[in-house]
Copies of this chain bind each other. A is one copy, B any other.
Amino acid sequence: MTQLSRRKVFGLAGAGVALAGAGAAGAGLDRTLGGPASPAHTETVEFHGAHQAGIVTPAQEHLHFAALDVTTNDRAKLVALLRAWTDAARQMTAGREIGTGGAVDGSPAAPPGDTGEALELPASSLTLTIGFGPSLFDDRFGLAGLRPPALVDLPAFPRDKLDPARCGGDLCIQACANDPQVAVHAVRNLVRLGFGTTEVRWSQLGFGRSSSTSRSQTTPRNLFGFKDGTNNLKAEDTAALDQHVWVGAGDGSPWLTGGSYLVARRIRMHIETWDRTSLDEQEQVIGRAKGSGAPLGQSAEFDAADLHVRGEGGKLAIPEDAHVRLASAESQNGVRILRRGYNFVDGSDGVGHLEAGLFFLAFNRDPRTQFIPMQKSLAAHDRLMEYTQHTGSALFAVPPGVGPGGYWGETLFGQ
């Protein structure tokens, strides 16, 4: 009933192929047997490195994000899972099936090692990035003394409308890929490996990356129709990344050196209200021209916003309460973050509106001095808040990357 398929033979033959370079590079070899595939799909992103992939990697088109709770108190089981996850991530990010002995074409008496829906699909620039939530550092696993001081419980922000079912989590998995089926497959297979050890708490799909994270990318638009993330930190800004994103050796949590903090916020957008708002109002709220993306008072997208320039009648071109002004490094005492969010549409809300918005993801070096004060100020003053509602929230410590023999979390749990 089962056969040695071409894929299988190919998979075995290709198993030793080395991956080329760091970042998006090399060709995904194993799962694709024919038919043209675009470069966005055939590229593989190197899994190993000083930092986890999926942070400064040029943002892929699709996201599946899952927050999980650990359902055991057995530290050894948790560590074994992190090791298994790391091995599976190595395989999947290289475009290979997971499981031993042939996975889908394995023993008829056992469940296949791989669930199969990504067979024939190339790696699609898949990255897998994990994080540890504050609740992991309770008394279950002996980690209480290792909780980083910056891994705080996020405070309540003005106008938060959080749904507890969309908040928190002991662990998170961020899967990004240029094919949603590849991202979904990866999360599902990690979740499956966690059966008996972890359980999905909440998960979120996203599309149409709402920020670019590299100068090689154009700026995408959010569901308000505006270019978003023009001033985002970029992979090329290595000095700024060291300053604003990567946890340093002197930051108080040696195990997290080379890691970061990931903030996840599910931001529902009231798009029907927005769509009935005049162009002028929309541009005043954002602080940019809708068509070109230029800061108000300037002429091109990448012109620097001048927060002091005034137009007719001496009025500030960028209003006091415009999003661009309030979110700017100038208004935020030089604070910057690396945004990596996605647009989402989760069907309808039952009263005639689309359940749509921005799944905000951002990496920063210390949320106490970066995300938290920034969000406090935005939540209190940003006019954009009139059109949005924060419905989910979580914070995770993102451990550093791993080498070929390592596993996710080894600096926390030990070799």
Seen from chain A, the residues whose Cβ lies within 8 Å of a Cβ on chain B are: 1-3, 5, 7-8, 34-35, 38, 40, 62, 64, 66, 104-112, 114-120, 165, 179-181, 184, 187-188, 191-192, 195, 199-205, 207-208, 218, 221-226, 271-272, 275-280, 282-283, 289-292, 294, 296, 299, 343, 345-348, 350, 352-354, 356
Contact = CB atoms under 8 A, between A and B. Distances in A.
Contacts of A202: 347-348
Contact of A347 (B112, B203, B207, B224): B203
Nearest to A64: B345
Contact of A352 (B3, B38, B200, B271): B200
B180 A1 contact: no
Contact of A299 (B3, B8, B108, B292): B3
Contact of A225 (B112, B195, B200, B280): B112
A194 to B, nearest CB: 10
A346 B205 CA distance: 7
A345 B175 CA distance: 14
Contacts of A225: 104, 112, 114-117, 119
A104 B2 contact: no
Contacts of A283: 1-2, 108
Contacts of A356: 184, 188
Contacts of A204: 347
Given A181-B208, A200-B352, A348-B201, A3 B221 contact: no
- Nearest 6 pairs between A and B by C-beta? A116-B225, A108-B280, A199-B352, A181-B208, A38-B38, A180-B207
Contacts of A289: 1-3
6 contacts: A3-B292, A111-B275, A181-B207, A192-B272, A201-B348, A203-B347
Nearest to A282: B112
Contacts of A201: 348, 352
Contact of A119 (B195, B280, B291, B346): B291
Contact of A345 (B205, B224, B277): B205
Identical subunits present:
2
A69 to B, nearest CB: 8
Contacts of A62: 180, 207
B279 A110 contact: yes
Given A35-B218, A115-B225, A294-B3, A184 B345 contact: yes
Nearest to A284: B1
Given A112-B290, A348-B203, A104 B279 contact: yes
A292 B112 contact: no
A66 B62 CA distance: 21
A287 to B, nearest CB: 11
Given A347-B346, A354-B191, A291 B221 contact: no
B279 A111 contact: yes
Given A2-B279, A116-B221, 13 more contacts: A104-B290, A105-B290, A105-B291, A114-B225, A115-B223, A117-B208, A117-B224, A165-B350, A180-B180, A181-B207, A205-B345, A205-B346, A346-B347
A119 B348 contact: no
Contacts of A296: 1
Contacts of A35: 218
A246 to B, nearest CB: 29
Contacts of A115: 223, 225, 271, 275
Contacts of A346: 205, 346-347
Contact of A218 (B120, B187, B290, B347): B120
A346 B346 CA distance: 7
Contacts of A112: 225, 279, 282, 290
A30 B2 CA distance: 49
A13 to B, nearest CB: 16
Contact of A278 (B3, B64, B109, B116): B109
